[in-house]
Amino acid sequence: MEFTVSQIARMIDHSILQPQFTSEDVREGCAVAAKYHVASVCVRPSDVPLAVELLHGTDVQVGTVIGFPHGATSTEVKVVETEQAVARGATEIDMVINIGWLRSGDIAAVENEIRAIVQAAGEAPVKVILETAYLTDEEKLAACWAAERAGAAFVKTSTGFAPKGATIDDLALMRSAVSPKVQVKASGGIRSLDTLLAMAAVGVTRFGSSATADILEDLARRQASAPTGRD
C-alpha cells in the first residue's frame, strides 16, 4: 500500500520526551508537530499544559506518559498521574506496565493496573507500553492479552529508553495477539521512512518518533521524483 505524506503524518506521535529538553525544545517540537499535522505530540507530564497551549486550534492531539520510563510506580500514583494529565488537557495516555509484575507472572496485577488507568483516562485512549526489550515472547503475548481485556486502545513496544526498541518480529507478534479493535504502536528507534513503512506492512498504525521531519520530508522527496506514468 502506498501512503501520502498526510497519511503517514497522521500515524506519527511526535516524541518530546528526553529528560534534558528545555521549554524551548518543547516549543520547537510542538511547532514541528503542527507544521506536519501529525496525530499527536507525546510530552512529559509536566509539559502537558504548555503543549496544550501551543497546539490549541490545531489538529494535533496532546499525549503524555504515565509511570515513565520504568513502570514501577504504584498503581495509585499512576492513576493520579493519569487523572491530572487528563484534567490538564491530555487527550491520549501512554502508560508503562509494571514490568517486574509481568516477569513475575502476576498477570492479574498487570491487568488490574491497566484497567485502573483506562478508567482514570475516561475518553482518552490508553496505549500500553510493554517494554519488549526485557520480555520473552510468552510475556509479550500475556501483556497484550491483559491489555485488551483491560480495555486498552493500543499495545506499544517501547519507551525508547530501554536497550532495544521496536522490531518487526515483536510488532508482528503483538499484532497477532490482539483483535482488530486494538491497535499496535511502534516506538523506539524509528528514525527512517523505510523502517516505518516496513512496520506499517505488518499492521502497525501508530509510530512514536522524534525524527518526524526527516521521515516526512523523505517521503515528499520520493513522491516528487517518482515517475508520473505520462509520456
Whichever domain contains 145, its CATH number is 3.20.20.70
- List beta partners, residue 183: 154
Residue 201 domain flag: yes
Asked if the structure places residue 230 within a domain, the reply is no
Task: Please name which of 58, 104, 101 lies closest in space to residue 78, comparing C-alpha atoms.
Answer: 101
How far apart are alpha carbons 87 and 182 in whole angstroms?
A: 25
DSSP state of 104: T
Residue 48 lies in a domain: yes
Contact 117, 95 (CB under 8 A): yes
Q: Which of 78, 127, 140, 156 is catalytic?
A: 156
pLDDT in tens, the chain (231 residues): 689 999 999 999 999 999 999 999 999 999 999 999 999 999 999 999 999 999 999 999 999 999 999 999 999 999 999 999 999 999 999 999 999 999 999 999 999 999 999 999 999 999 999 999 999 999 999 999 999 999 999 999 999 999 999 999 999 999 999 999 999 999 999 999 999 999 999 999 999 999 999 999 999 999 999 886 554
Domain assignment present for residue 129? The answer is: yes
Phi-psi region of 21 (alpha: psi -120 to 50; beta: other; left: phi over 0): beta
Q: Which three cell numbers stand for residue 90?
A: 491530555
Query: What pLDDT, on a 0 to 100 scale, did the predictor assign at position 229?
Result: 59
Q: How far apart are the first and last CA of the chain?
A: 25
pLDDT (0 to 100) of residue 187? 98
Cα-Cα-Cα-Cα torsion 16, 28, 21, 9, nearest 10 degrees, comes to 10
pLDDT at 231: 45
Count, residues in the chain: 231
35 part of the active site: no
Residue pair 184/171 in contact by the 8 Å Cβ criterion: yes
Which domain covers residue 89, as residue numbers? 5-225
Catalytic residue among 78, 127, 140, 185: 185
The 8 Å CB, 24+ separation contacts for 146-149 are: 146/107, 146/110, 146/111, 146/114, 147/97, 147/111, 147/114, 147/178, 147/182, 148/178, 148/179, 148/181, 148/182, 149/111, 149/115
Whether the bond between 125 and the residue before it is cis, its omega within 30 degrees of 0, is: no
Among residues 127, 136, 97, 99, which one has the least CA distance to residue 207? 127
DSSP 192: S
Tally of domains within the chain: 1
Residue 90 lies in a domain: yes
pTM, to two decimals: 0.96
C-alpha cell at 121: 483516562
Sign of CA dihedral 218, 224, 227, 228: positive
Which entry of 47, 94, 127, 170 is annotated as an active-site residue? 94
